[in-house]
Structure 1
Amino acid sequence: MFARLPSLSSLRTFEAAARLLSFKSAAHELNVSPTAVSHQIRALEDRLQLCLFERRTRSVELTPEGERLAAAAHKAMHELNETVNELTRQANQLTVGTTASFAALWLVPKLHLFQQQYPGVELNIQAEDQLRDVEQDRRVDMVIRYGCCPQANAEASLLGQEALGLFATPAYWQQLSVHSNPSVLVTSWKNPRLPRPNVQAWLQTIEQMPSAAQIRSFDDENQVIQAALAGQGIALVSRLLVALPLHNGWLTAEPWKGVDNLRGLDYYTLIPERSASRSTVRQFASWLDATLKSGLYPRHETQN
């Protein structure tokens, strides 16, 4: 059936050279000599009776035939790699994708609780703000997302809706009587699909907020909270993500009238069908849901 196909070794060499557009770089990636790569490519071209690369003095370029073969080779190698990784992954391993802010500000400080409950699970957190296609990207078993939970998606499960608040250091609150133009620190979402609340209009509904308040924007919630911790202003941020600084007294909330009127977006999980039956996925999803619903810092965690 596959008798006419070249060897996997030659196709792997070609894929690397085509992707990197460099025999030398391909040799480095494959841990062979550039001469070996050149011989493999030449043998492949002879086998196919095609010219796959245009050789120039200091570079190579793909021919139209080379571009077609490169696309097919890359797809095949990617699928092979993903399948091998999936087959060789141990049953106790679990990879969870989520946003950088949620990982740093809530999940990572809580992971010791999960490990205490499930000591045999080898958990890996992949934190980045770029959305993953969880159906196609088999490097992750499930993801935790922020936005509007897709109700029509059976693989999505709502964890809860975010409540926003205003938080600053105790010293900053005390200085408000002196400074009439405080800074309000907000997040400007990198994801253009996330709805943006009208912060300026909302602030005007808070009677105690000085009319000269200045809005400063940051790329993510972590930067907003760090700026507030440094005494640079009042953070408008999720009560969920600011739980640890509140718990330790580094930041405090000002109980102004109207502050609770602004609601944030959803936190939800996406678990693809291929992962839904795995025990480690079910354990983590159950722990995550229970921990969020039990409160940010349950009684047994409170410091004496």
Structure 2
Amino acid sequence: MLEQISSLNYLRTFAISAHYLSFKAAAKVLNISPTAVSHQIKALETQLRLNLFERHTRAISLTPAGSKLALACQTHLTQLDHLVAELQQPKSDISISCCNSFAALWLTPRSTTINNQFPENPLKICASDSLVDLSREQHIDMALRYGEDEQIADEILLGHEKVSLYKRPNFNPERHEKPVLFVTEWPENDLLNNIDLRSHFDASQYQVKTFPQEFFVLQAIMTGQGYGLLSDVLATSAIEQGWIVPDNTITPFRGYSYWLRMNPARKDLGAIQRFSHWLTQAFEAFREGYI
């Protein structure tokens, strides 16, 4: 690796110079002389056999090659900085990976409750609709999987969802038009098929409009643009706030399930055990109708 670069200091000096577009400013950050910065940049250019900067009378600018290298340095050196900072400090936060809609509609509304329950262990939400490999992503303490009822080893079943019809309170669609019905249809992928929503209602009775995420459907419902089909798990906070109400025009039906998986390297830590217990209890209370 990096056989062409004799010193990572050259890349660091280049990255800072590229950020400020100034050798003088970079020298101040690095606590070395502007001449030393210039020499390191020149050495790097010599090794790469190309110019990274255009030198002007009172300024510098990046060449196309310099711009490419600056972008790579910004990405990877920042990752290294974060990793080094993490290794230097005891990890006290709790990081959970979950899909974007669950992060936005379930976890975020409970941020205050979670902070009060775990004041010394701030929750770090890593929202993504991609699968997380806990054997590789060692910074993730636990992952929430949303999917079918096939249990994977070491997973904990949190609960099942029901998909129901919701509307804004006092919402009345125009009688001379078909009501708008918003549904979620995420982009097709190999991980999880869309729930077959359309088999549970007569599409000819609605103007069906789709969004790729549930939180868009919720926004459309709350702003009175029409009805929407939502998971009862994700609709909970909006119902509690009085922003939406159920509608019995469409019979609620079973959706997918939520499963909790913990990082094997961290699952025995006290904070992780306590948070997983709290999460399990929160779902149990929801199923029993307490929240």
TM-score (norm 1): 0.70
Partner of 2:224: 231
Q: Deviations over 1:79-118 (max 9, x none)?
A: 8546523323434322223333212221122233333333
With over 3 angstroms needed to count, the CA separation of the structure-2 counterparts of 1:217 and 1:86, relative to structure 1, is: same
Name stretches of at least 5 consecutive residues in structure 2 with no aligned partner.
28-33, 55-61
Q: Distance in 2 between matches of 1:129 and 1:221?
A: 12
Partner of 1:203: 201
Partner of 1:267: 258
With over 3 angstroms needed to count, the CA separation of the structure-2 counterparts of 1:83 and 1:230, relative to structure 1, is: closer
Matched residue type, 2:234: L
Partner of 1:146: 146
With over 3 angstroms needed to count, the CA separation of the structure-2 counterparts of 1:289 and 1:76, relative to structure 1, is: same
Q: Distance in 1 between matches of 2:115 and 2:278?
A: 10
Q: Deviations over 1:194-244 (max 9, x none)?
A: 31233333213xxxxx84311111231111111111221111110111112
Q: Does 1:250 align with 2:217?
A: no
With over 3 angstroms needed to count, the CA separation of the structure-2 counterparts of 1:185 and 1:235, relative to structure 1, is: same
TM-score (norm 2): 0.73
Q: Distance in 2 between matches of 1:159 and 1:117?
A: 19
Partner of 1:207: none
Name stretches of at least 5 consecutive residues in structure 1 with no aligned partner.
18-22, 205-209
Q: Distance in 2 between matches of 1:191 and 1:278?
A: 37
Secondary structure in 1 matching 2:26:
coil
| Matches for 1:1-304 after TM superposition, within 5 Å | 6-13=6-13, 16=15, 24-25=18-19, 32-33=26-27, 37-43=37-43, 50-51=47-48, 53-54=50-51, 59=63, 61=65, 81=81, 83-129=83-129, 132-148=132-148, 151-154=151-154, 156-172=155-171, 175=173, 178-179=175-176, 181-190=178-187, 192-193=189-190, 194-204=192-202, 211-256=204-249, 259-261=251-253, 263-295=254-286, 299=290
Matched residue type, 1:123: L
Partner of 2:57: none
**Could you tell me the percent identity over the aligned residues?**
29
Partner of 2:59: none
Q: Distance in 2 between matches of 1:30 and 1:105?
A: 47
Q: Distance in 2 between matches of 1:54 and 1:170?
A: 64
Secondary structure in 1 matching 2:39:
helix
